[in-house]
Amino acid sequence: METFKTIDQFISFQSHLIKKLNPAHPTIIISAGTCGQASGANDLIRIVKRELLSKKWTDQIRLRITGCHGFCEMEPSVLIEPKRTFYPKVNVKDMVRIIKAVAEDKVIEELLYLNPSTGERIETQDEIPFFKNQIRTLLSLNEKIDPIRIDNYIEQGGYKAIVKVLSKREPRGVIEEIKASTLRGRGGAGFPTGLKWERFAEQPDGKGKFLICNGDEGDPGAYMDRSLLEGNPHSVIEGMLVGAYATGANEGILYVRNEYPLAIKHLVIALRQAYQMGLLGSNILGTGFSFNLQLVRGAGAFVCGEETALIKSIEGMMGEPVQRPPFPVRKGLYGKPTLINNVETWANVPIIINTGAQEFKKIGTERNSGTKIFSLVGKVKHTGLIEVPMGITLKEIVYGIGGGSSGKTEIKAIQTGGPSGGCIPATRFDLTIDYESLKAAQSMMGSGGMIVMDEHTCMVDVAKYFMNFLKEESCGKCFTCRKGIQRMYEILNDISSGKADRSTLDLLEELSTTVRDTTLCGLGQTAANPVLSTLHYFRQEYLEHIDHHHCPAGVCKPLITYTINEHCSGCQLCLRTCSVGAITGEKKKPHHIDQTKCIKCGACGDVCKFSAIEMRPIETSQRTKG
């Protein structure tokens, strides 16, 4: 691998790679992020390599192995360029057929994506509703780059941004460009990135300044940062290089949780390649600018997503938040000025430098520019990673991209912002996605997790689930966080068990606001959001649990009982399905459920074809005994 000692040498090399590009050359692209590999992408890769070598098609057809493309539920998927033909859920036998079709410039109609709404086959990926309704600036690069081949990144314009700022030699101008873009931190708080850089740059160099990439993505159901690091690690490295030059930092750290082995593998390779090419280290491209970057693996503590806890973790201490001020930009890692941004924020920096702040601002809103990546999961037809302009509505995401409810029941709510976010009802899906509107709706942007819920979701149970998660993840430093969240969980458990009264709701609300207002870090300050938002929007559901000992969604087991009505035909399907032998009865005669044995799993109701299984509120006498 060539080492570049001057800017001109690198520009010449990049121009050479770009000239060699042939967009018309048939290319098989296999999405091989974590989701793709878990679904069988590695088997497809082996088949393609074997077929191309055995048929001597290596000059005729190219293979590109990439990170996640976003449509995770359709993995393993295959994309064919230049026509951008998309094949979902490809198996080994289908892969052999696809290779032959590419060689013959044909399309296999029956393997194309089937639109569940229209019943039509769609050939081009860009016409599939899931992709069509997005604006993909970061995720689109995942399709074009093999993450372990730096040449791929360079031929797509990679490291052009750092070359541009090193050539101009105007660090202050870079900061002004970031400020003009109105980019806000994508880690959750939404603090203006340019302003943060400006304050950091004002700090004296002293004995060094640090940049940190916060890749400690711990929200359940969220995997945006992981997919960027797996699919395009060089974009993050380049963003940090630009940030280092603009602010005077000379050391950088990529902090990634150890549960992301593929992301770590690709980062290790990318760092090694960048050092070998002279894009990291001392006297980069002969400009006198030096920046060293290393990888640190986090142990997976959710609280280490908070910047001061993250710093303590890097220093080898327990990941506990510390009081601010002073803020890390003044006194951070090892007592030195430290600038922390998350993965998606750093990845946006090269785009802003290359296209210009004004072009970047054309997407999104005045105060919320650019795009945002979300993980869309839950009770929607189409799940995966989406990239949308800031200011889009929840309705456009859930119904336009997600395709609406995945079942027969209506969508009830969406939870945004991870465990510390809030639950927004379907009646408010006209809400725009920006930092201010979500906060006003008692939720938050967070790192970008979105969980869609339908009528089978109990909102009390949802709040209890997140309180259980947060009480386990609290570092325990603050008494109100350590004991307050635990007590909130216990109260919710009482409500879901039929052991609460109306005064309990007042206690729960008072405790939630106390935890929010008295804790030290963001974990405790936002922990009450799931409770407060569900109390605000779904109070009637809480009252159903308290007044009538009834869970409308049929989730809270202590409040429900399963019975068999007169519609039972005696087919014995439910009897054979019951794993604990709670159902008895003769063939073609009504069956019976033994309540002492029933574990309330609901499997009998799932298989019954005659609507004979009824889920009812538990009898008062049974509640008393319980």
- How far, in whole angstroms, is CA 267 from its chain's centroid? 18
Q: Is 390 helix (H, G, I), strand (E, B) or coil?
A: coil
Q: Do the beta carbons of residue 587 and residue 576 sit within 8 Å?
A: no
CB count within 10 Å of CB 107 equals 16
Helix, strand or coil, per DSSP, at residue 547: helix
Single-letter residue type at 41:
A
Query: What is the full DSSP assignment across 543-556?
Result: HHHHHS---TTS--
Give the CATH fold of the 371-454 domain. Answer: Ubiquitin-like (UB roll) (3.10.20)
CA distance 385 to 224: 7
Q: pLDDT band at 397, cuts 50/70/90?
A: very high
pLDDT in tens, 235-286: 999 999 999 999 999 999 999 999 999 999 999 999 999 999 999 999 999 9
- Nearest to 91, CA basis, from 74, 107, 103, 105: 74
Beta bridge partners of 384: 376
| 312 pLDDT above the threshold of 80 | yes
What are the E-state strand segments in 329-368? 338-342
Q: Which residues, including other chains, have CB under 8 Å from residue 263's CB and lie 6 or more apart?
A: 215, 226, 229, 230, 233, 256
Report the pLDDT value the prediction gives residue 619, as an integer from 0 to 100: 56
pLDDT of 376 strictly over 90: yes
- Kindly state the tokens that stand for 79: 């994309």
Q: What dotted CATH number matches 459-547?
A: 1.20.1440.230
Q: What does the alpha-carbon distance between residue 607 and residue 577 come to, in Å, rounded to a whole number?
A: 8
Residue 229, classed as helix, strand or coil, is helix
* Both tokens assigned to 357: 């702040």
**477-510 pLDDT per residue, tens:** 999 999 999 999 999 999 999 999 999 999 999 9
Q: Which helix (H) or strand (E) holds 252?
A: strand 251-257
pLDDT band with cut points at 50, 70 and 90 for residue 396: very high
Q: What is the DSSP string of 562-619?
A: EEE-TT-----HHHHH-TT--EE--TTS--EE-TTT-----HHHHH-SSS-EEEEEPP
Q: Where are the alpha helices (DSSP H) in 118-191?
A: 129-132, 139-144, 150-155, 160-168, 171-181
Q: What angle do CA 47, 51, 54 make, to 5 degrees?
A: 140
What whole-number distance in Å separates Cα of residue 20 and Cα of residue 25?
A: 11
The answer, yes or no, to whether residue 43 has pLDDT greater than 70, is yes
558 neighbors 532 (Cβ within 8 angstroms): no
* pLDDT given at position 620: 44
Residue type at position 325: P
Task: Reply yes or no on domain 25-126 having CATH 3.30.420.40.
Answer: no
Q: Which residue has the tokens 């700022």?
A: 165
81-124 pLDDT tens trace: 999 999 999 999 999 999 999 999 999 999 999 998 889 999 99
Q: What is the mean pLDDT of residues 120-136?
A: 95
Average pLDDT over residues 417-442: 93
Q: Please, is 559 exposed, middle or buried when counting C-beta atoms within 10 Å of its C-beta (0-12, 13-18, 19+)?
A: buried
Q: Residues 347-371: pLDDT tens digits? A: 999 999 999 999 999 999 988 999 9
> How is residue 3 written in tokens?
């080492």
**Confidence at 624, pLDDT banded by 50, 70, 90:** very low
Distance of alpha carbon 22 from alpha carbon 623, whole angstroms: 72
- The encoded tokens of residue 159 equal 């490291």
Locate the domains of the chain by residue range: 25-126, 150-360, 371-454, 459-547, 557-625
pLDDT digits over 161-206, tens only? 999 999 999 999 999 999 999 999 998 778 999 999 999 999 988 7
Q: What is the DSSP letter of 81?
A: E
Top CATH class of 557-625 equals alpha beta
pLDDT in tens, 204-245: 887 789 999 999 988 887 889 999 999 999 999 999 999 999
The average pLDDT across 572-589 equals 94
In what helix (H) or strand (E) does residue 344 lie, and over which residues does it extend?
helix 343-355
* Adjacent-strand bridge partners of 251: 210, 292
Residue 621 contacts by C-beta under 8 Å, 6 or more apart in sequence?
A: none
pLDDT tens for each residue of 509-568: 999 999 999 999 989 999 999 999 999 999 999 999 999 999 999 899 999 899 999 999
Backbone angles phi, psi at 598, to 5 degrees: -60, 130
* Rounded distance between C-alpha atoms, residue 259 and residue 226, angstroms: 10
Dihedral sign for Cα atoms in the order 359, 363, 368, 374: negative
State the DSSP H helix or E strand holding residue 215, giving kind and residue range, or none if neither: strand 210-215
- The domain at 150-360 falls in which architecture? 3-Layer(aba) Sandwich (3.40)
pLDDT mean across residues, the chain:
94
Peptide bond into 326 cis (omega under 30): yes
Largest CA distance in the chain: 88
Is 541 strand, coil or helix?
Answer: helix
Residue 6 CA to chain centroid, in angstroms?
Answer: 38
CA separation, residue 348 to residues 163, 293, 360 (Å):
16, 18, 9
pLDDT reported for residue 418: 85
Report in angstroms the alpha-carbon separations of 305 from 187, 218, 223, 240, 330.
Answer: 9, 7, 14, 18, 19
User: For residues 510 and 503, is the Cβ–Cβ distance under 8 A?
Assistant: no
pLDDT confidence of 622, banded at 50, 70, 90? very low
Dihedral angle over CA of 165, 139, 181, 250, nearest 10: -40
Residue 478 to residue 524: CA distance in whole angstroms? 8
Look at residue 621 in the predicted model and tell me its pLDDT. 37
**Tokens in use for 402?**
């997600």
Quote the CA–CA distance of 504 and 608 in Å, as a whole number. Answer: 38
pLDDT above 80: residue 626: no
Name the token pair of 363: 């997407």
| Contact indicator for 355, 424 with CB cutoff of 8 Å | no
Buried b (16+ CB within 10 A) or exposed e, 8-32: eebbebbeeeeeeeeeeebbbbbbb
| Total-model pTM | 0.93
> Nearest 5°: CA angle at 209, between 208 and 210?
130
Report the distance separating Cα 309 and Cα 300, nearest Å. Answer: 12
